[in-house]
């Protein structure tokens, strides 16, 4: 149980490969949970909606800790600020309509940031997070 706790705590750092793999896992789980919620809504099964909505919270928490830990590895003094900024940009982009030109620009900026988070080397030899 102690080994699993580290994945949900805002301590330690992770490398770019670990960041990529965690994001891949969150994407897969997010798709699965979204499908479950949609299926519950479509079939009128309130229990299924509640179950998958309850599963959504730990996945989001895991995603937040993943972003924070990678920011801590690259930008230790400004990690909370950069984490909040990245999440804000993701939320703003998801609220925009697909035809909006600013959405395209924001998508490009987020892709550049993702590349930096995945490929940039940190000064930390052994990541513990």
Does residue 19 have a pLDDT over 80?
Answer: yes
Residue 43 has pLDDT above 70, yes or no: yes
Tell me whether residue 95 is exposed, middle or buried, using C-beta atoms within 10 angstroms of its C-beta: 0 to 12, 13 to 18, 19 or more.
Answer: exposed
Secondary structure (3-state) at 80: helix
pLDDT band at 3 (very low <50, low <70, confident <90, very high): confident
Nearest to 112 by CA among 121, 123, 120: 120
- pLDDT tens digits, 102-113: 999 999 999 999
pLDDT > 90 in the chain, percent: 78
Q: For 71-75, what is the mean pLDDT?
A: 93
pLDDT tens sequence across 79-94: 999 999 999 999 999 9
Q: Helix, strand or coil for residue 45?
A: coil
User: Mean of the pLDDT values across residues 41-62?
Assistant: 94
Cα separation, 70 vs 83, whole angstroms:
9
Answer whether 15's CB lies under 8 Å from 126's CB: no
First-residue to last-residue Cα distance in the chain: 15
pTM: 0.88
Asked whether the CA dihedral 65, 21, 77, 103 is positive or negative, the reply is negative
């Amino acid at each position: 149980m102690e080994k699993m706790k580290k994945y949900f705590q805002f301590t330690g750092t992770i490398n770019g490969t670990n960041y990529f793999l965690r994001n891949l896992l969150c994407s897969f789980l997010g798709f699965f949970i979204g499908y479950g919620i949609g299926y519950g809504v479509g079939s009128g099964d309130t229990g299924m909606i509640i179950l998958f909505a309850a599963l959504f919270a730990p996945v989001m928490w895991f995603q937040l800790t993943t972003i924070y830990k990678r920011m801590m590895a690259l930008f230790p003094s400004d990690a909370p600020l950069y984490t909040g900024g990245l999440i804000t940009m993701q939320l703003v982009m998801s609220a925009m309509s697909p035809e909006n030109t600013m959405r395209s620009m924001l998508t490009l900026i987020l892709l550049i940031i993702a590349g930096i988070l995945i490929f940039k080397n940190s000064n930390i030899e052994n990541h513990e997070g």
